[in-house]
Structure 1
Amino acid sequence: MRTQTTQSNDSSEHYRHTQPGYVTVIAGLAGMLVTYSSAMTEEDALTALSLAVMGRVGAITALFASLTTEVSDQEFRFYFGPGFWTRTFPLDTIQSVEVVRNPIWYGWGIRYTPAGWLYNVSGRSAVEIDLGSEGVIRVGTDEPEQLTRGLRQAMESA
């Protein structure tokens, strides 16, 4: 877990944090283990199909293993894993930010909820960001107060 918070107005980066997606990684590894176990009990050998399923689950697990959030002088950006599914929003499009707690049924991953789009790798804490005409999004984080503070500081200095 990496966190960097900068409070100086002359810095271009106000906040950066990478949240590990323990739930995603554990679920992915469990899925690969179940696939492997099923293949080995059926024919005592891995088939091409079971290898393909394990590879796909492994790739999805790697892509969604973490969620990084960054706040600079100009924009808010977040992405999964090694840079998959990057979203960037100029600070001047953000109307408001608020710490929220997602209901358990909202789950993890990328999904549309009654509250708007949700981007989450683990836990129920999130920051709700009102983007005006673009709608509302929720970005999951294990540091909701710090992300909210970083966004508000950057919005004030922009």
Structure 2
Amino acid sequence: MDYRHTQHRPITFDLAIAMLLILVVIIAGLAGSAAGMVIGTLTGIFVMAALYVFGRFTVEVSETGIRGSFGWGWPARAVSWTDVSAARRVENRWWYGWGIRWFPGGTLWNVWGLDGIELDVTSGRRVRFGTDQPDALLAAVRAAAGI
């Protein structure tokens, strides 16, 4: 069973960050700080690029394994079914955050929200993939992995 789903972060989050960065540059300009304007602008460009790359997360389930990736396929994490011993639905703690994060016992790949699935891998670690379709993803994982 092949499964593919892309989840996007709400645009309102990006707009709020962009408005905050613009406000910082305007305040620096009004204060007469050319260096502040340059630093604010460069920071804004970097932050907006990071928001763009980490603004969507795609999870793909195939007959060989599962792959989660941000942006256009990078950064990515793939797990082979031969390395998976169990899978379950989870609800992440809010403080685990978004992006690529460490949590006690493993790593989390998440773009938005608290729902996801967790895989126990043979290394003893756990890998979590966040999704707004946890039941569909878990069903696809169990069918493909035979667990």
Q: Which TM class, normalised by the smaller chain length?
A: 0.7 to 0.9
Question: 2:60 corresponds to which residue?
Answer: 70
The CA distance in 1 between the partners of 2:100 and 2:71, in whole Å, is 13
**Amino-acid identity (%):** 32
Question: 2:5 corresponds to which residue?
Answer: 17
How do residues 41-52 of structure 1 correspond to structure 2 at under 5 angstroms? 41-43=30-32, 47-52=37-42
The CA distance in 1 between the partners of 2:19 and 2:82, in whole Å, is 42
| Structure 2 residue ranges without an equivalent (≥5) | none
1:155 aligns with 2:142: no
The CA distance in 1 between the partners of 2:61 and 2:89, in whole Å, is 16
| Structure 1 residue ranges without an equivalent (≥5) | 1-6, 8-13
Three-state SS of the structure 1 residue aligned to 2:146 is: helix
Asked whether the equivalents of residues 32 and 58 of structure 1 are also in contact (C-alpha less than 8 Å), the reply is: no
How do residues 2-151 of structure 1 correspond to structure 2 at under 5 angstroms? 7=1, 14-22=2-10, 25-26=14-15, 28-43=17-32, 47-133=37-123, 135-151=125-141
State how many pairs are aligned. 145
Q: What is the alpha-carbon root mean square deviation over aligned residues?
A: 2.3
Q: Which runs of 4+ in 1 moved over 6 A?
A: none
TM-score of the two chains, using structure 1 as the length reference: 0.81
Three-state SS of the structure 2 residue aligned to 1:47 is: helix
TM-score of the two chains, using structure 2 as the length reference: 0.86
